[in-house]
Chain A
């Protein structure tokens, strides 16, 4: 997709401005998908003009120049609304740019708008957004997933050529899986988090959602890199793609809760890999069962801390009628945070409270170390990558009304990757009732490109049969 656009632009078949306008028009026609919180046409057209000027001067274009995309609404854009889909940040306009937006802006990437998401990236369906759920372009009464639901919906609906999301427990991979897209959660530290509005700092990572593996690699290479403003970002040491046949690990624990259709698609995918000469290595992951509680303890603990700054005193709306200062802070937080955000702040506050810290947070940290050692050490020591479902099911119907715990359980396959800091990729591998199924490839740190390479191989073997090519939006 990105390559096609690049060829059309450099071949002067299409101007960047025309392309941008057709995306903006398509977004306007497809408002039903609800994938954008705010649009940024001036910024988009300004970048497009700069690209057209370069084309007129026959200057070469970089890969993402003139390519229209969407940024999740929790990525800071100076002068442009950034609300995290929350009433708490209604009208908030940041004073600075996130690292990834700096990078892409420097490449004249065309920012179409800020994508819909679950409030503060907390949710798995995008239904906690203040503007409601983004719709799944495959079946519009189904969710696009979460929390980066808007980012996935826009790409699947051809309302952006690619998008950036953030992935704290699966928030890039799960919507990619639900929408039949490729979604990369990079190695922790590969992409600077500077300007990503934090949910859970030790787990958050900015990720990429695209229509195929090649696009994903193109975008990833544009945003990966060391940033001295993020102490957890690292100088990349990516492993080169493997020349020999892959050894793909399969752990039955990941399949235990999977729906029959998902299990079938995973087994089909394994067969395809086997056919190409890959070796399938059965492994066991007994500690997987602790991943969800560990995730929810750590994520909520950090969230309760990170979201403390929203007190209505410096930016965003303020409480109108209140007694003393504490009352004002309580009021604005009670009024403006949604139920799921409040639930996670309360959970996190509880587990960090004196007397409970050792029982929850400390225990979770110990388990995190054990899980990491089992997954990154034992399992990935015996194979090149692990293949799992991305989600045990396909997308849920909008308004399905699962309880919080039922919703949390759907994150079982994805959260482990965030706890361990590993790279993982969701790759489309099947359909069930018109809804896509995704498989997840998990690799050792800095093997992000090996995962992308394995996904590209799968696309070739299956002739792109599982890639999303929907009507509507911008068709090239």
Chain B
């Protein structure tokens, strides 16, 4: 039988605040183990938490960016379990009164995925298995984490991944997290159930914990679909349980009967978090333009193709560079082709550490637009700019690529090229219009690229038509 998948996601995103959620230790990834720790985040007897207001504000901004309502009064709760990575034996989280309520994410198809809420909590330490022993690194313990809980509105692995990509783009753009799945600063739990196509009633779900790449999300969903479909096809009943995914199959971690009783209760050491309308207005005003809005504006106002607009708006620094670098088609082209092939990984594009400022790109484009620099030569110049960070005009001058303003005898150059390329001429006349490119190329070469491409094409086509 064919089944419809019903998927809800719980997405954990580490906040990129300077300090941890309850102490002043640095919240930093990848440092020497147990260096960013203090009595508070190690849960020593007698310590108390002081809530990091920045983490609250980051979470509120995240909520605002996906249309959540912000709770005027929210509270922290304790969630208890014993595990060596959790030094207090509870995780401070939010169950009864989370910071952000509701919200929505719209997929490209126009389908809206409703959010249930976003809450703030602390991350746990990290177990390191080495030489048959277990070591614990508490650097990550107490790092602020937000959990974004969706409604079960997703219907496929594609939708799940798209939803995650949208969240990733938004959170990076508003600067609350770097959302690096490979480093664990974004990870997700997938709740999935199946029901016969057309059915209303939800099936029994399984939760697959701790997926840390889009590939894993996709693969785990595919696996889980097969597993649950087999059970249902055989007339069985899916067990509500928590499962793990090892890259190939999902397997049971614990079923509902044996699920932990977290004994949640309100955290008595943290006073409720009050947010006034003025706070919310201030945080709203601080939000940058969101990727989706940006993308639409690039298409509508700047005439950028939808494909390019999506690429440009995905990374906040790229978008800002694009806009400051002229915000036109030429800028888009230069960034998406030459610069992107150089700055190629996701992380690099996120950081956008290029050797020249956006203003330098703008100068390069001005040279092109004024006709002083041919487009082909502009590529050479940009290549050098990416190496050395020098200004475009200086490079073009040195390399002798600038049009000096002296008139090129275009007609003569074309005539020469036609004479030298009889094969291309006969091809062109036989209807292979692409053959004109050979003539254009030859003229460019003989004029050292100083011919203006549009003018040249027109002149060559005119000459060949004779």
A: which residues have CB within 8 A of B?
A: 74-76, 82, 84, 89, 92, 94-96, 98, 193-198, 200-202, 228-232, 301-302, 304-305, 308-309, 311, 313-315, 325-326, 329, 349, 352-354, 357, 361
Q: What is the total number of residues of chain B having a CB less than 8 Å from a CB of chain A?
A: 27
* B317 on the A face (CB < 8 A): no
Q: Which residues of A contact B50 (CB under 8 A)?
A: 228-231
Q: Which residues of A contact B87 (CB under 8 A)?
A: 309, 314
Q: How far is the CB of A451 from chain B (nearest CB, A)?
A: 25
Q: Which residues of B contact A95 (CB under 8 A)?
A: 39, 44
Q: Which residues of B contact A353 (CB under 8 A)?
A: 261, 263
- Among B46, B47, B88, B265: residue with most chain A CB under 10 A: B46
> Count of A-B contacts with CB under 8 A?
98
* B48 on the A face (CB < 8 A): yes
Contact, CB under 8 Å: A349 / B263: yes
Contact, CB under 8 Å: A231 / B265: no
* B45 on the A face (CB < 8 A): yes
Q: Which residues of B contact A229 (CB under 8 A)?
A: 48, 50
In the complex, what distance in Å separates the CA atom of A229 from the CA atom of B24? Answer: 11
**Interface flags, B78-92, vs A, CB<8A=1, else 0:** 101010100111100
Given contacts A82-B45, A96-B39, contact A357 B270 (CB under 8 A): no
Q: Which residues of B contact A196 (CB under 8 A)?
A: 46
The contact sample of 18 A-B pairs, CB cut-off 8 A, is A76-B44, A92-B45, A94-B44, A94-B45, A94-B46, A96-B39, A194-B46, A229-B50, A232-B48, A304-B263, A308-B80, A308-B88, A309-B43, A309-B89, A314-B43, A314-B87, A352-B264, A352-B265
Name B39-95 residues within 8 Å CB distance of A.
39, 42-51, 78, 80, 82, 84, 87-90
Contact, CB under 8 Å: B265 / A314: no
Given contacts A202-B268, A305-B78, A357-B265, contact A231 B48 (CB under 8 A): yes
In the complex, what distance in Å separates the CA atom of A164 from the CA atom of B87? Answer: 28
In the complex, what distance in Å separates the CA atom of A21 from the CA atom of B440? Answer: 103
Q: Which residues of A contact B42 (CB under 8 A)?
A: 314
Closest to A74 in B: B46
Q: A75-B46, A194-B46 are in contact. List 5 more A-B contacts (CB 8 A).
A: A76-B44, A95-B39, A95-B44, A311-B82, A311-B84
In the complex, what distance in Å separates the CA atom of A357 from the CA atom of B268? Answer: 16
Contact, CB under 8 Å: A308 / B89: yes
**Interface flags, B20-47, vs A, CB<8A=1, else 0:** 0000000000000000000100111111
In the complex, what distance in Å separates the CA atom of A201 from the CA atom of B89? Answer: 15
Closest to B271 in A: A231
Q: Which residues of B contact A354 (CB under 8 A)?
A: 261, 263
In the complex, what distance in Å separates the CA atom of A315 from the CA atom of B87? Answer: 11
Contact, CB under 8 Å: B90 / A305: yes
In the complex, what distance in Å separates the CA atom of A267 from the CA atom of B261? Answer: 51
* B269 on the A face (CB < 8 A): yes
In the complex, what distance in Å separates the CA atom of A76 from the CA atom of B48? Answer: 12
Closest to B267 in A: A201
Given contacts A308-B89, A309-B88, A349-B263, contact A201 B46 (CB under 8 A): no
Q: How far is the CB of B260 from chain A (nearest CB, A)?
A: 10
Q: How far is the CB of A310 from chain B (nearest CB, A)?
A: 8
Contact, CB under 8 Å: A231 / B269: yes
Instruction: From the candidates B44, B84, B88, B89, name the one contacting A96 in the complex (CB within 8 A).
Output: B44
Prevailing SS type, chain A contact patch: loop
Closest to B78 in A: A305
Q: How far is the CB of A435 from chain B (nearest CB, A)?
A: 33
Q: How far is the CB of A361 from chain B (nearest CB, A)?
A: 6
In the complex, what distance in Å separates the CA atom of A92 from the CA atom of B46? Answer: 13
Q: How far is the CB of A288 from chain B (nearest CB, A)?
A: 23
Instruction: From the candidates A76, A325, A357, name the one contacting B84 in the complex (CB within 8 A).
Output: A325
Instruction: From the candidates A195, A228, A305, A325, name the one contacting B46 in the complex (CB within 8 A).
Output: A195
Q: How far is the CB of B348 from chain A (nearest CB, A)?
A: 39
Q: Which residues of B contact A202 (CB under 8 A)?
A: 268
In the complex, what distance in Å separates the CA atom of A96 from the CA atom of B82? Answer: 25
Q: Which residues of A contact B88 (CB under 8 A)?
A: 308-309
Q: How far is the CB of B132 from chain A (nearest CB, A)?
A: 15
Given contacts A231-B269, A313-B84, contact A308 B48 (CB under 8 A): no
Q: How far is the CB of B394 from chain A (nearest CB, A)?
A: 54
Closest to B263 in A: A352
Given contacts A329-B82, A353-B263, contact A230 B89 (CB under 8 A): no
In the complex, what distance in Å separates the CA atom of A84 from the CA atom of B44? Answer: 13
- Among A76, A231, A315, A325: residue with most chain B CB under 10 A: A231
In the complex, what distance in Å separates the CA atom of A290 from the CA atom of B451? Answer: 95
Contact, CB under 8 Å: B265 / A197: no
Q: Which residues of A contact B90 (CB under 8 A)?
A: 305, 308
Instruction: From the candidates B46, B51, B80, B264, name the one contacting A197 in the complex (CB within 8 A).
Output: B46
In the complex, what distance in Å separates the CA atom of A196 from the CA atom of B43? Answer: 13
Q: Which residues of B contact A96 (CB under 8 A)?
A: 39, 44, 47
Instruction: From the candidates A89, A98, A193, A305, name the one contacting B265 in the complex (CB within 8 A).
Output: A305
Q: How far is the CB of A14 from chain B (nearest CB, A)?
A: 34
Q: How far is the CB of A293 from chain B (nearest CB, A)?
A: 17
Contact, CB under 8 Å: A308 / B45: no
Q: Which residues of A contact B84 (CB under 8 A)?
A: 311, 313, 325
In the complex, what distance in Å separates the CA atom of A353 from the CA atom of B80? Answer: 11
Instruction: From the candidates B47, B89, B265, name the one contacting A194 in the complex (CB within 8 A).
Output: B47
Q: Which residues of A contact B51 (CB under 8 A)?
A: 231
Contact, CB under 8 Å: B82 / A198: no
- Among B78, B80, B89, B264: residue with most chain A CB under 10 A: B89
In the complex, what distance in Å separates the CA atom of A82 from the CA atom of B46? Answer: 11
Q: Which residues of A contact B46 (CB under 8 A)?
A: 74-76, 82, 94, 98, 194-198
Closest to A314 in B: B87
Q: Which residues of A contact B43 (CB under 8 A)?
A: 309, 314
In the complex, what distance in Å separates the CA atom of A288 from the CA atom of B80? Answer: 32
In the complex, what distance in Å separates the CA atom of A202 from the CA atom of B78? Answer: 14
Closest to A200 in B: B268
Q: Which residues of A contact B48 (CB under 8 A)?
A: 193-194, 229-232
Q: How far is the CB of B189 from chain A (nearest CB, A)?
A: 20
Contact, CB under 8 Å: A309 / B45: yes
Chain A to chain B: the 4 pairs with minimum beta-carbon distance, closest first:
A308-B89, A202-B268, A352-B263, A201-B268
Q: Which residues of B contact A201 (CB under 8 A)?
A: 268-269
Closest to B76 in A: A231
Q: How far is the CB of A204 from chain B (nearest CB, A)?
A: 9
- Among B39, B78, B268: residue with most chain A CB under 10 A: B268
Contact, CB under 8 Å: A231 / B49: yes
**Interface flags, B261-281, vs A, CB<8A=1, else 0:** 101110011110000000000
Q: How far is the CB of B163 from chain A (nearest CB, A)?
A: 30
